Amino acid sequence: MKKNTALITALLGIVLGVMLAVTVNAIKGKDKKLRVGRDDWQKLELILQQISENYVEDVDYNAVTEAAASAALSALDPHSMYLPPVTLKESETELAGGFDGIGIQFNVPNDTAIVMEVIAGGPSDKTGLKQGDRLLKVDEEVIAGVQFPQDSMVARMKGQAGTKVTVTVMRDGEVIPFEITRGKIPINSVDAAFMINDTTGYIKLEKFSRTTTQEFVTASRNLLDQGMTSLIFDLRDNTGGYFDQALNLSNLFLEKGRNIVYMEGLHRERETYEADGRGILKDVKLTVLIDEGTASSSEIFSGAIQDNDRGMIVGRRSFGKGLVQEPIYFSDGSGIRLTVARFYTPSGRCIQKPYSDDYQYDIYKRYETGEMVEADSIKVNKDEEFYTVGGRAVYGGGGIVPDVFVPLDTTKATTFYMNCSRKATLLRFASNFFDNHKKELTAIDNYDALLQYLDRSGLEREFLDFAASKDALVPQEGEWEASKYYMMPQIRAQVGRYSQLGDQAFYHLYLDIDDMVAVATAL
C-alpha cells in the first residue's frame, strides 16, 4: 500500500511538473515580444520564420509564398500584381503578336464552335479546314453540344509549334477529322482599315502589341494610296499594351520636338519623350475615338494628340490608367508587374485616376452619376487646370476628357431588342443564314459585291421568321419600326463577317449606326 501511494505521488509530481513547465513556457512566450521595425520587412520575415519553425504540420512553402506575394502587391495599388507562371505566359503571349496554335478564329453562337476565319498560310489552311466548319472534337474531347467553355477550347487547340492535334469537324453533314501540326500564328492588332469615303480613312486598333507599329504603318500607307487626307482612329475598348508602340504611333503624327509623354516616380527621375518629326502622317487630319474602355497606351496616344492640338478627341472619358508597370521575372517562370512611376500628358496632367475604396466600380459609378449620357456629369478636377500648346484649358482628375462628347444612346433598348440580345438571336441567325447560303457568301471578296448581295437577300424577313420560330420572339406593335434601324445594320454586319472580308466587313457595315463615327465624319 505504501509503495502504491509513493508511486501515485511520484506520478502526480511528474504530471504537475510537466503542466507547470508548459504553463511557464506559454507565459514566457506571451511575455516575449519579437522586435519589429515600421519601415522595413522584418515583421514579414519573422512571420514566415515562425511558420517554418513552429507550424503544426508540414508547410507548403510554394502556396504560402504565392499567397504572400499576391497579398503584398495588392496592398500597393490596384494594378501592381503577382503573376504565376501560366498567367504570365498568357499575358505576354497576348501582346507578343503571335502564338503557337492551329490558325483559326471561331464563334460559338449555338453551343457549337463555327470556324469564322482560317488564317491564310496557317496550319489549318494547309490541312484543309474551311470557314463554316463546325468543331466537334479536339483529339478525343467532345466540345460540341456540351456547354464546353470557349477558353478551354482555345487552350486545347493551342500548343507548342510542331506538335499535332486532331480536330474533328462537321461539314455539309459529313464528319471529317483533320490532323493538324501546330505552328506559329500571328496575332493582328489592327482589326480593320478601310476608306469610309473618298478622303476619310478608318482604322480600328484592338491593342498595342509588338507588331502594332508595323501593322499601322502598312494600313496607313494603303489608305494614303487610296486618297486618304483625313483619318478616324478608333481606340474604343483598347486596353493598351506596350508603351513603345504608343510612342511610335504618336510620333507618326507629331512635328519634331513635340512632347509625347513624360513619366516620373519616387525612385524614377522624370523622363520625357519627344517626336522626331519623321512621321508619315503629320499632314493627315486626325480624329481619335475613345470611351470608358480606352486605357493605358491608348490614353498616352490620345493625351499627346490632344495636348499638342494635333487632332480632335471624340467620345467619352477614358478609363484613367496611367501607370508605368515594370516587369520583374523569376527563375520559376513567374513574375510581378510593379508600379514604378506615373504617366503625364505633355501639359502635365496625370493620366491615372485617383485610387479609392470603390476604385474597381468606377465605370459603374459613371453610369449611376449620368456621366455616360451628360457631358456636364464628367468628373474633372477644376483645381488641376492645364493648357494645350494652343492655350486651351484641359483638366486633371484621371483619364482623357474628349473635346467632343458623344453620349451613350439609351433609346434603342426596346423589349424585343433586349430579348434578342439576351438569347444571342442575331448571332445565331447569322450562323443559320450562312449555313443556307454558304456558297454565295464565301465567294464574296469585295465590299461593293457584299452590299449588293445583302440588299437583295431578304435579311429582314428571314430574321423575323427565325426569331419567331427559334426563340418565340415576335416584336410587339411599333417595336420593329423602333428597332430595325439599329438592328438591321448589326444583322448585316454579322452576316457580312462570313464573307471573305471577315472583320473588315463587320466594322464597315456597323458604321451605319455608329454615333461616334457619324460625329467624327462631320467635324
Name which residue leads in pLDDT, 4 or 508: 508
Res 186: pLDDT: 75
Q: Is 6 exposed, middle or buried (0-12, 13-18, 19+ CB in 10 A)?
A: exposed
Taking all residues of the chain, what is their mean pLDDT, rounded to a whole number?
89
Count of all residues that appear for the chain in the document: 523
Report the distance separating Cα 375 and Cα 7, nearest Å: 91
> In angstroms, what CA-CA distances link 18 with 5, 13, 21, 99, 367?
20, 9, 5, 65, 67
Res 2: pLDDT: 47
Residue 3 pLDDT level (bands cut at 50, 70, 90): very low
Q: Where does 264-404 have alpha helices with state H?
A: 297-307, 362-369
Res 197: pLDDT: 95
161-192 burial: b if 16+ Cβ within 10 Å, else e = eeeebebbbbeeeeeeebebebbebebbbbbb
Q: Quickly tell me which residue has 466548319 as its cell.
A: 133
- 341 beta partners: 324
- 180 beta partners: 165
Residue 111 pLDDT level (bands cut at 50, 70, 90): confident
Looking at the chain, the whole-number percentage of residues with pLDDT higher than 70 is 92
pLDDT digits (tens, 9 = 90+) for 14-49: 444 444 444 444 444 455 677 767 777 888 889 999
Res 172: pLDDT: 81
Phi/psi of residue 492, nearest 5 degrees: -60, -40
Q: Is 498 exposed, middle or buried (0-12, 13-18, 19+ CB in 10 A)?
A: buried
Res 95: pLDDT: 66
* CA geometry: angle 6, 9, 10, nearest 5 deg: 85
Of 493, 438, 488, residue with least CA distance to 460: 488
Helix, strand or coil, per DSSP, at residue 257 = coil
Residue 427 pLDDT level (bands cut at 50, 70, 90): confident
Res 17: pLDDT: 46
Q: Where does 385-458 have alpha helices with state H?
A: 415-422, 425-436, 438-442, 447-455
Q: Quickly tell me which residue has 519627344 as its cell.
A: 274
Within a 10 A sphere around the Cβ of 90, how many other Cβ atoms? 13
For the chain, list the domains and their CATH numbers.
99-186 (2.30.42.10), 190-323+339-405 (3.90.226.10), 415-522 (no CATH)
pLDDT digits (tens, 9 = 90+) for 121-162: 788 888 888 888 899 999 999 999 888 888 888 888 988 889
Report the distance separating Cα 335 and Cα 232, nearest Å: 37
pLDDT digits (tens, 9 = 90+) for 191-230: 999 999 999 999 999 999 999 999 999 999 999 999 999 9
Question: Looking at 181-190, 398-407, 471-480, which range is the least confident one?
Answer: 181-190
Report the distance separating Cα 216 and Cα 219, nearest Å: 5
CA dihedral 346, 349, 352, 358 (to 10 degrees): -160
0.85 exceeded by pTM: no
**What's the average model confidence in pLDDT over 98-102?**
80
Res 18: pLDDT: 41
Q: Where does 293-359 have alpha helices with state H?
A: 297-307
**What's the average model confidence in pLDDT over 434-445?**
91
Residue 519 pLDDT level (bands cut at 50, 70, 90): very high
Res 12: pLDDT: 44
Of 457, 451, 463, 445, residue with least CA distance to 501: 445
From its phi and psi, is residue 338 left (phi > 0), alpha (psi between -120 and 50) or beta?
Answer: beta
Question: Looking at 176-190, 254-268, 314-328, 338-352, which range is the least confident one?
Answer: 176-190
Res 451: pLDDT: 96
DSSP E strands, 42-123: 81-83, 98-101, 104-107, 113-118
**What's the average model confidence in pLDDT over 397-421?**
91
pLDDT digits (tens, 9 = 90+) for 268-320: 999 999 999 999 999 999 999 999 999 999 999 999 999 999 999 999 999 99
Report the distance separating Cα 326 and Cα 243, nearest Å: 11
Rg of the chain on CA atoms, in Å: 30
pLDDT digits (tens, 9 = 90+) for 49-72: 999 999 999 999 999 999 999 999
